[in-house]
Amino acid sequence: MARRKRTSQVLEKAARRAAGINSIDPNLNVGNGLTLPAFSTLIETMRTRENSYNTALSNLDKMYHEMLQTEHELADMAEHMLLGVATQYGKSSVEYGMAGGVPKNQRHRGLRGESPVHSSQQPSFITSVNGSGSKNGNKAATTS
């Protein structure tokens, strides 16, 4: 999705105001450096900066899409590289594991709906809970 480009309502209003003031007097000077030429110059500066900003957004969108395309190409090539190692050495080989695959003889299939629990990661159980404040000073004991 392309980034949203910016439009300035202040710029549009100022341009309309400058056109109206120009119909009064093209060289209007209301004092304190407030002149129609200075006003017009600032309007053009804002217009230039807004255009530059919107162009930068377009360039950023282009770079983002190029990066995503390269990322997809990299993912495909990484998969093909692993499959190439599997083809050459086999899916049960040490080389397949070294390339990032899980060797066939090391895969564990669990039952549907169960997450595998390794023997080194046994859950701990709370043996007693005394609510939020304990009356006898004992805390909940955990066992593993």
Q: Rounded to two decimals, what is the model's pTM?
A: 0.59
Report pLDDT digits (tens) over 94-137.
999 999 999 888 888 767 766 655 555 555 655 555 555 555 55
Q: Transcribe the chain into DSSP letters.
A: -PPPPP--HHHHHHHHHHHHHHHH-TT-B-STT-BHHHHHHHHHHHHHHHHHHHHHHHHHHHHHHHHHHHHHHHHHHHHHHHHHHHHHH-TTSHHHHHTT---GGG--PPPTT-----TT-PPPEE-----SS-SSSPPPPEE-
Q: Can you give the pLDDT at residue 140?
A: 55
> Do residues 128 and 140 touch, judged by C-beta distance below 8 A?
yes
CA distances from 109 to 39, 83, 93, 114, 115 (A): 74, 21, 19, 10, 10
Token pair for residue 65?
A: 């899409």
Q: Name, in order, each residue with C-beta under 8 angstroms of 60's C-beta and a sequence gap of 6 or more.
A: 3
Contacts of 42 (CB under 8 A, 6+ apart): 14
Condensed to tens digits (0 to 9), the pLDDT of residues 26-76 reads 999 999 999 999 999 999 999 999 999 999 999 999 999 999 999 999 999
Asked if pLDDT for residue 9 goes beyond 80, the answer is yes
Burial class (CB in 10 A: 0-12, 13-18, 19+), 96: buried
Mean pLDDT value across residues 15-28: 94
Tokens of 56: 């930068």
